[in-house]
Structure 1
Amino acid sequence: MERVAAENPSIAIEAVQDHLPALYFVFGRARTEELAAELGREWDFLFPDEKEMVLKAILETEKEHPEIFQRGHRRVLRKLLQQGIGYHHAGLSPVLKNLVERLYESRLLWVLFCTETFAAGVNFPAATTLFHSCRKWDGKEFRTLMNREFFQMAGRAGRRGFDRVGHVYIRIDDKFPEQTGFFDESQVESVYGRLTISPNTVLSLLKWKTDEEIDRFLTQNFSAYQERRAQREINQLLEELNRQYEQVKSIFCELRGEASCPLQRRKLIREQKRLRSSKYKNRPGSRERIEEIKQILANQQSQRCLHEVCADARDRLEALGYQRAGLLGQLNAVQQQSQKYIHEYHFVKGILENLGYIKGREFFARGNFALELHVQEIFVTELAFAGILEDLAPEQVAGILAGVDYIPGRREFVPAPPYDPTPVHELREELLAAGVPPQFLVWSSAPGFVAHAWYTGQGLDYLLENTSLQEGDIVSIIRRLIDLLRQIDDASHSNPSLRERVREIRRVIDRDEVAVVF
């Protein structure tokens, strides 16, 4: 692993030109495009026959999707691809992402600027990986990469059968040189299981499992296994500490704690001095305690012994005591954690009973409806049973459902939807007042404009011109909406009119670039 001090990507690529292809990781969509364009002004990696192969792939894509390179800065990408340079991020349309991936797999892209999503779940190795920065925005703050994140990306360096070793380069950030990161593979953070107890989880368990099976599910999942293993490890450490504690205690003689013990006499003398200080001498009981100590010291003579050994043992016991207290705290936290799934299960079950979804193991209409949902089950169910999905115009329903489980980006701009979302806000407030936790009521009006426009026939060009979203964002919003409509379709078997309505909405929006192919 080497460190490169260069803002210009050309300098970095020049340093690694004998170790291509390279994945250049950048933490920002716009920055991937900027750096790719900057490199393209100075570098061209392809021979004429390779350029023809790239052009053929581009023309085939354009034949099916004529407008694919006409939007935004995508014409620049078309030119870059023919130079063996590309970029890849979540804002690209699925068609463009697929094209870039195919060209990279065919060894027709020699430098690919990408965000960390390219390293997650997709096996595209490289001879070299470069990091433009080791700092990222995690949704709350900018921070240095964790070891696990770094090695997930750095691990792409080195292709089996091609490279003897992989090369990793880090660009030093002049503004934050101390946050460049010095990563240690032996310190990779552990991955912990996390069971999410959602309303669907509870309903499914009640519908299909016995009480014994539910208990086993809650107490013997992977996360619970990890916690039991942690308990065993902590208990083993406590046993070792207790053994050391008893071993150190054996050093002391029978005079420990007596006034004739030099260590105890020193302790009493220190207490006496403290009580004579201006801070304590006038406090009630101080004079009496001073006299008591004076008598104790006078009545017992100090013994001659190797009290330095005892002093070391005392300090060791104190250190062991601190370690033991820390381990006991960890053990208590783990023990509480091991019960959390049972508590969460009963908490969510109580909410469902209070809302009239179930009573014990008896399912009511709302419970059967929510059983078929897999996202924000309570909120979607209440939207349906409040009549909102049947009473409002279909384009409004599309806009409302698009906001389910949606969290806007920090720099995202989308106009307000062309309808009044007040009924949805009011429903959400009622559910919060009824004790439904906010994580079961995640909804935003932001995607409403997108879904409403798409339903009424507008295309990607219109949405790109009127929002800050990119193709990939828009496609994601509509495809998530299509999937939610499919879930509501499955849940509406006892309500033919609602089923017919959601099927019609899905038929209208499942088109063009966002079409879901099964």
Structure 2
Amino acid sequence: MERAEAENPSVAIEAVQDHLPALYFVFGRIRTEELASEVGREWDFLFHDEKEKVLKAITDTEKEHPDIFQRGHRRMLRKLLQQGIGYHHAGISPILKNLVERLYENRLLWVLFCTETFAAGVNFPAATTLFHSCRKWDGKEFRTLMNREFFQMAGRAGRRGFDRVGHVYIKIDEKFAEQTGFFDEGEVESVYGRLAISPNTVLSLLKWKTDEEIDRFLTQNFSAYQERRAEREIMGLLDSINQQYEQVKGYFCEQQGHPSCPLQRRKLIREQKRLRSSKYKNRPGSRERVDEIRNILAGQQTQRCLHEVCADARDEIEALGYQRAGLMGQVNAIKQQSEKYIYEYRAVKSVLERLGYIKEREFFPRGNFALELHVQEILVTELAFSGMLEDLPPEEVAGILAGVDYIPGRREFVPAPPYDPTPVHELREQLLEAEVPPNFVVWSGTPGFVAHAWYTGKSIDYLLENTSLQEGDIVSIIRRLIDLLRQIDDASHNNPHLRERVREIRRVIDRDEVAVVF
């Protein structure tokens, strides 16, 4: 691994120009576009025949989507692609993502500025990876990359059959050099499974599994397996510590703790001094204890021995005790986690019974409906059974459903939807008062404007002009809505009117750039 210091990306590209293509990881969508534009002002990596291939790919895309490069900074991207430079992040449209990925795969992009999503599940290697920063916003705070995150991205460096080695460069900020991570592949954090006990999980288990199978599922899943393995490793460490403990105890003689032991005498003398201090001397019993210690010390002679060995052994035993306490704490935490799956299952089942979805293994209409859902099952079921999805205008239904399981970004600006969201807020409050866990009623009114506008025929351009969202965000909102409508369609087999309603809403919004192709 090499560390390259650069004031701008062009300097970094110049340093690695003999090791291209390069993935330049940046933790910010807008910044990927800005840095790509900066490099585009100074570099052009393509020969004439390569430019023709890129232009053909661009024009073929434009034939199917004539306005694809007319929005925002997309014209700049069109120009950059013809210079062998690109950018890739969640905010660009799926059509442009696909084009960028195809050009990179065909070795027509030599520098690609991208966010970490490009390293997750997309197998596009490079000769070099560069990091503009080693810090990222994780939704709560800015922090240094974990070893696992860093090597997931850095691991893209080195193409099988092309590069003998891969090159990784980190841009160091002179002002905050200490904030740059210096990563160790030997300390990559473990990936732990986490079983999520959702209402659908409980309903599916009750519908299709016996009690024995449910118990096995909760206690022998991958997460529980990892926890049992971790417990075995910790117990092995505890055995080793206990053996050391017994070995160290052998250094003590039979006078240990006796007033004749030099270490015990020192302990008594320290206690005596403390009790004579101004802080303790007037406390009840202090004077009596001082006299008692004086008599003990006077009545015993100090034993001659190598008490330094005992002192070292005592310190080692104390250290082993701290280690043992820490490991025992980990064992208790693991046992509690293993029991947590069973507790969560029972807690969710209790909620479903209280709401009238099930009774033991008997399913009621709400339970059968929720069984077909895979996101915010309780909230969506209650929206359906409240009549809102059938009684409200379809554009309002689209807006309401778009907010299911949506968490707004910290810098998102979206106008309020042109309808009253109060009924949804009231429904959520009723569910929370019924002790439904907050994570089962996640809803936001933020995407309502987007879905409502899209249903009523507004374009992507209109949404880009009136919100701070990027094209990829808008497509994601509508596609998530389409998927939820499909789930409600499957769940509504006993309600033809609702089924027809959601199918019509889906037909209207499944169009143009957001169309879902199977």
Q: 1:174 Cα deviation (Å)? A: 3.2
- 1:287 Cα shift? 1.1
Distance 2:469 2:282 in 1: 73
Normalized against structure 1, the TM-score is what? 0.99
Q: Distance in 2 between matches of 1:138 and 1:403?
A: 22
Give the Cα–Cα distance (whole angstroms) in 1 for the partners of residues 283 and 453 of structure 2: 78
| Structure 1 residue 99, shift from structure 2 partner | 0.3
CA distance in 2, matches of 1:96, 1:382: 38
Q: Which runs of 5+ in 1 are unaligned?
A: none
- Aligned mates of 2:334, 2:493 — CA distance in 1: 44
Write out aligned runs for 1:365-404 (5 A). 365-404=365-404
Is the partner of 2:302 in helix, strand or coil?
coil
For residue 7 of structure 1, report the CA deviation from its aligned partner. Answer: 2.6
Q: Counterparts in 2 of 1:65-464, with a 5 A limit?
A: 65-464=65-464
Moved more, 426-435 or 3-12: 3-12
**Cα distance between partner residues in 1 of 2:333 and 2:451:** 45
User: What is the CA–CA distance in structure 2 between the aligned matches of 1:57 and 1:208, rounded to whole Å?
Assistant: 49
CA offsets per residue over residues 88-146 of structure 1, 9 Å max, x none?
A: 00011110000000000000000000000000000000000001111111001111111
Runs of at least 4 residues of structure 1 off by over 4 A? Answer: none
What's the CA shift for 1:299?
Answer: 1.6
Give the aligned residue type for 2:97: K
CA distance in 2, matches of 1:210, 1:309: 62
The residue matched to 1:212 in structure 2 has which SS?
helix
Task: Return the offset for 1:8.
Answer: 1.4
User: Shift of the alpha carbon at 1:176?
Assistant: 2.1
C-alpha distance in 2, partners of 1:255/1:73? 83
CA distance, structure 2, for counterparts of residue 180 and residue 313 of structure 1: 41
1:64 and 1:265 map into 2 onto residues whose CA distance is 91
- Whole-angstrom CA distance in 2 between matches of 1:174 and 1:311: 48
Specify the SS of the correspondent of 2:174.
Answer: coil
| Helix, strand or coil at the partner of 2:112 | strand
1:507 aligned residue: 507
Q: Out of 282-291 and 375-384, give the one that drifted further.
A: 282-291
Q: Distance in 2 between matches of 1:85 and 1:296?
A: 85
The superposition leaves residues 471-503 of structure 1 with CA deviations (integer Å, 9 ceiling, x where unpaired) of 111110000000000000000001110000000
Q: Distance in 2 between matches of 1:250 and 1:18?
A: 64
Letter aligned with residue 29 of structure 1: R
Deviation at 1:300, TM superposition (A): 1.6
What percentage of aligned pairs have identical amino acids? 86
State the one-letter code of the partner of 2:247: Q
CA distance in 2, matches of 1:231, 1:180: 34
> Equivalents in 2 of 1:172, 1:489: separation in Å?
53
SS state at 1:136 partner: strand
Matched, 1:45 2:45: yes
Tell me which amino acid in the other structure corresponds to 1:149. E
Q: Which whole-Å CA distance do the structure 2 matches of 1:401 and 1:174 have between them?
A: 48
Give the match for residue 26 of structure 2.
26
Question: For residues 37 and 437 of structure 2, what CA distance do their matches in structure 1 show?
Answer: 46
Deviations along 1:252-281, whole A, 9 cap, x unmatched?
A: 111111111111111111111111111111
Q: Indicate whether 1:487 and 2:487 are aligned.
A: yes
Paired letter, 1:206:
L
Q: Deviations along 1:311-344, whole A, 9 cap, x unmatched?
A: 1111111111111111111111111111110000
Amino acid in the other structure paired with 2:235: N
Q: Deviation per CA, 1:144-196, whole angstroms, max 9, x where unpaired?
A: 11110000000000000000000011111234211111000001011000100
Distance 1:193 1:79 in 2: 44
Aligned-partner SS, 1:176: helix
Letter in structure 1 aligned against 2:94: P
The secondary structure found in structure 2 opposite 1:86 is strand
Matched residue, 2:16: 16
Alignment match, 1:477: 477
TM-score, scaled to structure 2:
0.99
Could you tell me which amino acid in structure 1 is paired with residue 216 of structure 2?
R
For 2:36, give the aligned amino acid: A
Aligned partners of 2:99, 2:3: CA distance in 1, in Å? 32
Whichever residue aligns with residue 268 of structure 1, its letter is: L
**Aligned equivalents of 1:30, 1:287: Cα separation in 2:** 73
Paired AA for residue 66 in structure 2: P
The Cα shift of 1:241 comes to 0.9
